[in-house]
A and B are shown apart, each in its own frame.
Chain A
Amino acid sequence: MHIVVCTKHTPDSEAKMSVDEAGNVSWGESPLIINPWDEYAVEEALMLRDEHGGKVTVLTVGPEEALEALKHAIAMGCDEAIRVWDDGCAGSDTLATSYVLAKTVEKMGDVDLILFGKSAIDAETWQVGAAVAKRLGVPSLMYVIKIVELDPEGRTIGVERLLEEGRQVVSAPLPAVVGTTKGINEPRYTSFIGIRKAAKMEYPLWSLDDVGAEAGKVGPAGSGVRWPEVSAPPAREGEAEIIEAESVEEAASILVDKLMAEKVI
């Protein structure tokens, strides 16, 4: 089995985000980390490898800072890492990013399973996994909360995926793209040995030429969406009205009257 996990780096989820007057986004002193959702994809890949054999390659499209995500995945136990970057990649939307990822997976050639986290906590588009599946012409299995069975010889996978009303149980042939979600596993912590391995490892850098991607299909030229303006949301006005009364029953009664007046119940 060759499993590829696609990942990206994001500011820490605790980061205090701000925008300056020129529109530049800043996350202050917060560290860059592996996108937290991707840890579920890495964990699932490692468990599948340990059960079925083979290797796990972690892949990112990103500038040098993106190494943080690769290092974390290697420290968790992934075998190999590849970073794809070129100055032309800057300003890529999901349409362009999915193109580069798909070209890279095609370049690798022998991939059985491509795993993603549910979404990235920065831009939160939830789009790249399904878009890569479409580009590769392989099944898209998103929001997977359980891999029910994986048969590398029979070339099939069965999963439970989350929908609003419940869990859809589906099967599909390999290779396939699987988007994982929280609940599928409990991601492991990085080990001391893993961190040492990650620190010593060489991280190959592939260019657009290396993966056979056309320059006109990446960056702004290859993107559908532009995002010219980022701003801070307006602060909520006013303070909570704290309801105080002689007894809990009276406070509850006052609150219910207020909610009825608001016409929300």
Chain B
Amino acid sequence: MGNDIFVWVEQFDGQPAGVSFEAIGAARCLADELGGGVTACLFGGEGLDTMAQEAIAHGADKVLVAEDSTLADFRVEPYAALLAKVVRDAEPAAVLIGATFRGRELGPTLAVELDTGCIADCTALLLEDGQLMATRPIYAGKLLSKCFIPERRPQIVTIRVRAFPKPEPDSARSGEVVRVDPVLAEDDIPVKVTGFQETEGGVSLADANIIVSGGRGVAGPEGFEPVQELAQVLGAAMGASRAAVDAGWVAYEHQVGQTGKTVSPDLYVAAGISGAIQHQAGMRTSKVIVAINKDPEAPIFKLAHYGIVGDLFKVVPALTAALKEKLG
């Protein structure tokens, strides 16, 4: 077994997932300590050259690129089969994967294929005597669990989106790009992709630097209009609490919390959200939290860094106006 760290670089429609570069950054730190290299694995239909260079700029020494029509859309069967093959060939110490929808399916599938362990959704990683020690939240972040994979190799770890810093790209870095072939032919893949419907409303919650969320306090679908306007001025994604989703005011894709998405943006604005523990589970690791609520006793103020007690239908438009003025 070697000291290299492999990273699966996720892409959709020619755009890399931000978490993949975060994973390369984490892999770089681990590989430097182990005295190994970082290999990025980049699969897709075509046109991956620019992304391969980006992977190198972010810290990869080598990029394994597979371009084939069978890999154009993510499907776990061909992706796991190819990743398993390149991992078997190189015998790295660990494989890091972003804990996205795709990564959370790929990780355990690869683990079964390689008969090894997969630590899910980890938020911190360090080495102890050459062994990866991972920290991950459990019970909706109410507790933290330390995990490791004592014997089996490689150690597969999915890392939480935005839990690790994204390295500054360095275009002067050089690395090797190696072409690899898919393992499965189209006839070997039972799952067929027949369509794709993109989510309406712009920025995706997972990658967003800023999220503006509305809750019960917005009091109806039209109440999300000022929330949406504030999100637009900030270039933010729009989130919602479970109460707002269950009431049918916004689609489930926007839900943040224990039964929705877990997010960790630089700025999280909670408008009209009381801050039940289930909502906090989905956003408590945000860097800066702003709460706007007319109830000064709302639990969200216990978690927030800044708060304004007041009517969100006055405060949110005032914020939008102030931002327009100051950000030009």
**Contact between B108 and A141, CB atoms less than 8 A apart:** no
* Selected contact of A259 from candidates B17, B119, B148, B290, CB within 8 Å: B290
6 inter-chain pairs at a CB distance below 8 angstroms, sorted by A residue, are A124-B137, A130-B109, A224-B152, A232-B144, A233-B137, A257-B326
Chain B residues packing against A (C-beta within 8 Å): 12-13, 17, 73-77, 80, 100-102, 104-105, 107-109, 111-113, 115-121, 137-150, 152, 156, 190-199, 204, 206-207, 209-210, 234, 251-253, 255, 258-260, 266-267, 277-278, 284, 287-288, 290-291, 296, 301-310, 314-315, 318-319, 321-323, 326-327
**Contact between B326 and A124, CB atoms less than 8 A apart:** no
How many interface residues does A have (CB within 8 Å)? 84
Please tell me which stretch of A1-9, A92-100, A104-112 contacts chain B, meaning at least 4 of its Cβ atoms lie within 8 angstroms of it. A92-100
* Selected contact of B321 from candidates A133, A161, A231, A252, CB within 8 Å: A252
Chain A residues whose CB sits within 8 angstroms of the CB of B302 once the complex forms? 239-240
Closest A residue to B99 by beta carbon equals A126
Within residues 218 to 237 of chain A, which ones have a CB less than 8 A from any CB in chain B? 223-233, 236
**Contact between A130 and B76, CB atoms less than 8 A apart:** yes
Assembly CA distance A24 to B104 (angstroms): 28
Assembly CA distance A27 to B198 (angstroms): 40
> Shortest Cβ distance from B253 into chain A, in angstroms?
7
Chain A residues whose CB sits within 8 angstroms of the CB of B234 once the complex forms? 265
* Total residue contacts A-B, CB cutoff 8 A: 260
Chain A residues packing against B (C-beta within 8 Å): 11, 13-17, 19, 25, 36-37, 93-95, 98, 121-128, 130-131, 133-135, 138-143, 145, 158, 160-173, 182-183, 223-233, 236, 238-244, 248-249, 251-253, 255-260, 262, 264-265
**Contact between B100 and A164, CB atoms less than 8 A apart:** yes
**Contact between A260 and B140, CB atoms less than 8 A apart:** no
Given that A255-B306, A258-B306 are contacting pairs, would A128 and B120 also be in contact in the complex, using a CB cutoff of 8 Å? no
**Contact between A173 and B190, CB atoms less than 8 A apart:** yes
**Contact between B117 and A145, CB atoms less than 8 A apart:** no
Assembly CA distance A244 to B140 (angstroms): 33
Interface of A, secondary structure class, is mixed
**Contact between B191 and A182, CB atoms less than 8 A apart:** no
**Contact between B105 and A140, CB atoms less than 8 A apart:** yes
Assembly CA distance A35 to B121 (angstroms): 19
- A-B interface, 7 closest residue pairs, ranked by CB to CB distance from nearest: A224-B117, A169-B195, A127-B108, A252-B318, A183-B252, A125-B120, A166-B198
**Contact between A36 and B259, CB atoms less than 8 A apart:** yes
> Shortest Cβ distance from A99 into chain B, in angstroms?
8
Given that A95-B112, A127-B118, A225-B149 are contacting pairs, would A172 and B190 also be in contact in the complex, using a CB cutoff of 8 Å? yes
Given that A17-B139, A170-B194, A240-B291 are contacting pairs, would A131 and B149 also be in contact in the complex, using a CB cutoff of 8 Å? no
